[in-house]
Amino acid sequence: MPPARRNFDGFLTEMTLAEKLGQLTMASANMATTGPMPGNRWDTEVRDGTVGNLFNVWRVEETAALQRIAVEESRLGIPLLFGFDVIHGHRTIFPIPLGEAAAFDPDLWERTAAAAAEEAALDGVNMTFAPMLDVTRDPRWGRISESAGEDPFVTAVFGRAKVRGFQGEDLADPSRVAATAKHYVAYGGVNAGREYAPVDASDRTLEEVFLPPFREALADGCAAVMPAFTDLAGIPMTAHRALIEGRLRLGWRWEGVVVSDYTAIPELILHGVAADRVEAAALALNAGVDLDMMGFAYLHGLPEALDRGLVTIETIDAAVLRVLRLKERLGLFDDPYARGGPRPEAPPANLVALSREAAAQSAVLLQNDGTLPLVRPRRVAVIGPIADDPAAVLGSWSAAGERTEARSYLAGLRAALPRSEVLHAEGVSCVGEETGGIGAAVALAREADVVVLCLGETADLSGEGGSRARPGLPGRQAELLAAVAAAGRPIVTVLTAGRPLIEAAVFERSNAVLMAWGPGTAGGDAIADVITGRAEPGGRLPVTWPETVGQIPIFFGQRPTGRPPEEGNRYTARYIDGPVTPRFSFGHGLSYATFRYGPPVLSVATLAPGETLEVTVDVENTSAFAGRTTVFLFTRDVVASLARPLLELRGFRSLALEPGSATTVRFTLAADDLAFLGDDLKPVFEPGRVEILAGPAADRAVLSVVTIELEPAVAPAPSPRAASAVA
Ligand code: GLC
């Protein structure tokens, strides 16, 4: 974190208490609603300094007008932060994070974040509430759509790429915005996948799974952190002094700004840890929360908290200073109007092209009997509630994305198949109970060479507040699927959803299934590119796809058990009414090409602390098609002082290969990478055998395994002087 250039002591001396608390307040304007309280314009409060930061407002004519009030009409002229949930694109929308994670491509992740930052800054935004770094293994939780999936290593790489893209090298660059790592911490572990539910996580899971992505993002200079709404073992994160003040600031020596989630500070009352707004404000401030988002607890509660000795003015001043420093790093004191300019008539062609590239690279071909890619079909029936719904392709948290600027699957297929007859029937609505349209859809299917069945979720069925107890096909879509399947024509099912959909019939009745996630503005064209073979389905699953809801949570990083599952043996870790294996493993995804993966080749057979291991894996495209695949590197610590996960992800590489070509993928592991947290939760490096596994998915059936011997540190050779002394 670069040192502040300005001395703000004068400001702090000059500021009234109300002005200080105004700098600690962030209010939602009324261009978007992202929480329970409606927004406002706040001109008066900006002018009198009691609101010093805004969010949910964009377009330069709006932001410049408000900034002018703050800078030219308020007493101290302190510029405003303008925050916004630029999660996967601003106006040009890219795939939802869970979808983009499927690309396993840090360069792509950074490029789309940089593009989003540039578009948002042009609209006057200077702070985004992203990346969301909540590791989760629960598809019932709607916010899995905003996550990078089940693995902390992937989430950490994803988060660092996003911070680089949003913030660039210098936050004062007017095309960049401050990033916010959220939701700190363990929100992805909500009980039963229910939104905002309590979270219980062991200290080990906290240290090994939930915290690392935040540590990495902050180490890379992420400007802000947003605590989760949830509690952690009874302590609401908004009041978690040990993990905010203690870990972020004292432990990780991070000097950024902590912004509460929407009304999360007064919600401490509902958590049952504060009797009133005064106590809630004091708890949050003393925990280390700087900005009160839409709670107005600081503004209206801290004066009395001061009088009652619950907080000190020094703590308030320290929080104000951190906010002023962020504004300084953003260049707002140098030129508060640097961000914001005329917006183009339509999303720029280069960004739409990037959206189309990202969507194809994120799409996961889950199954295919050879029906895909379609080759000049005569008549295609495009059926389903998502077929002609451009809003659905934008996915949840689509920021300033316009449905009118998005391409539906129907539009994309018609553009991609100009010489085919592309017919359409909705069949059923997404969640409605009516089935009157199924007959017409079936009639269309009967006349077609192939059916493209567009099923799944509209954007509101995932994301915040989108938890589902039965995360399958919504409404009467399963009936539509069954009726269309009975027509006997080949079916390509395109799934749009913010989560893995648990619906066996989709896979039993379809010839091919393509997971499109929420593909973004160019989604219709991108999925048409994949269906017609113009583009590769480049995605691989960043989250295990359960066979049944009862399996949740199911993920590759589980620890072993003393009674591994054994078919037919009651006394083993299994269910008596269903499988323990998922529908699809983490990393699963098909290509139009076929690949051969060589075994991992190790540069050394033993590894001691301070040494480095290089692992190479040969990959060959054994088909006549150009294709893309992803190679994963896992380890398994077979015997240790603690039961270690069945697989731990250590690296991944997504690569494109021309027909018949081959390459060698290289991974480097330091010995420290193979250390783990001992029973005291401190890193320990234990000698012993470790398996090194490589291949296309977290499934031992497709992984090649070799082993390496970890050895104790080599004792330094005695120095000659020491030798002579001994002698
Ligand atoms: C919402 C979300 C958070 C978002 C914030 C501002 O409630 O929890 O992710 O950044 O409010 O919109």
Burial label, 31 (beta-carbon count in 10 A; 0-12, 13-18, 19+) = middle
Q: 32-36, 128-132, 258-262, 462-466: which range is least confident on average?
A: 32-36
The torsion angles phi and psi of 167, rounded to 5 degrees, stand at -95, -25
Mean pLDDT of 343-370: 97
Characterize 656-671 residue by residue with b for buried, 16 or more Cβ atoms within 10 angstroms of its Cβ, and e for exposed. bbeeeeeeebebebeb
**Helix intervals (H) in 341-383:** 349-362
Q: Is the pLDDT of residue 472 over 90?
A: yes
Residue nearest to atom 3 of ligand 1 (CA): 261
Enclosing H/E stretch for 495: strand 491-496
Report pLDDT digits (tens) over 57-92. Answer: 999 999 999 999 999 999 999 999 999 999 999 999
Residue among 443, 515, 499, 453 at smallest CA distance from 478: 453
Output the CA 403–ligand 1 centroid distance in Å. Answer: 21
Give the residues surrounding ligand 1 with Cβ less than 6 Å away. Answer: 34-35, 85, 129, 182, 261-262, 464
pLDDT tens digits for 397-412?
A: 999 999 999 999 999 9
Exactly one of 261, 292, 637, 699 is catalytic; which is it? 261
What pLDDT was estimated at residue 710? Answer: 97
Atom in ligand 1 nearest the alpha carbon of residue 146 = 9
The confidence band for 719, taking pLDDT boundaries of 50, 70 and 90, is confident
Q: Which phi and psi (to 5°) does residue 665 adopt?
A: -95, 135
- Asked whether residue 216 carries a pLDDT value surpassing 80, the answer given is yes
pLDDT at 727 (0 to 100): 35
3-class DSSP state for residue 724? helix
631 neighbors 652 (Cβ within 8 angstroms): yes
CA distances from 34 to 27, 50, 127, 247, 577 (A): 11, 22, 16, 28, 41
pLDDT at residue 725 greater than cutoff 50: no
Query: What is residue 132's three-state secondary structure?
Result: strand
For the segment 325-341, what is each residue's pLDDT rounded down to a tens digit? 999 999 999 999 999 99
- Tens of pLDDT, residues 16-59: 999 999 999 999 997 888 888 777 889 999 999 999 999 999 99
Task: Please list the residues that pair with 612 across neighbouring strands.
Answer: 670
Query: What is the tens place of the pLDDT at every residue in 412-434?
Result: 999 999 999 999 999 999 999 99
The interaxial angle of helices 409-416 and 523-531, nearest 10 deg, is 50
Nearest-atom index, ligand 1, CA of 183 = 9
- Taking the centre of ligand 1 as the mean of its atom positions, its distance from the CA of residue 340, in whole angstroms, is 23
151 is catalytic: no
- The continuous run of DSSP H or E covering 99 comes out as helix 97-101
| 133 Cα: distance to centroid of ligand 1 (angstroms) | 13
Task: Decide if pLDDT at 182 tops 90.
Answer: yes
Instruction: List alpha helices for 330-476, DSSP H.
Output: 349-362, 390-394, 409-416, 438-447
The reply to whether the predicted model has a pTM over 0.85 is yes
What is the mean predicted confidence (pLDDT) over 261-278? Answer: 98
Q: Whose CA is nearest to atom 10 of ligand 1?
A: 129
Ligand 1 binding pocket mutation candidate from 87, 96, 129 (most atoms within 8 A of CB)? 129
Ligand 1 center from residue 155 Cα (angstroms)? 19
With a pLDDT cut of 70, the percent of the chain lying above it is: 98
Computed from CA positions of residues 82, 85, 86, 90, in that sequence, does the dihedral angle turn out positive or negative?
Answer: negative
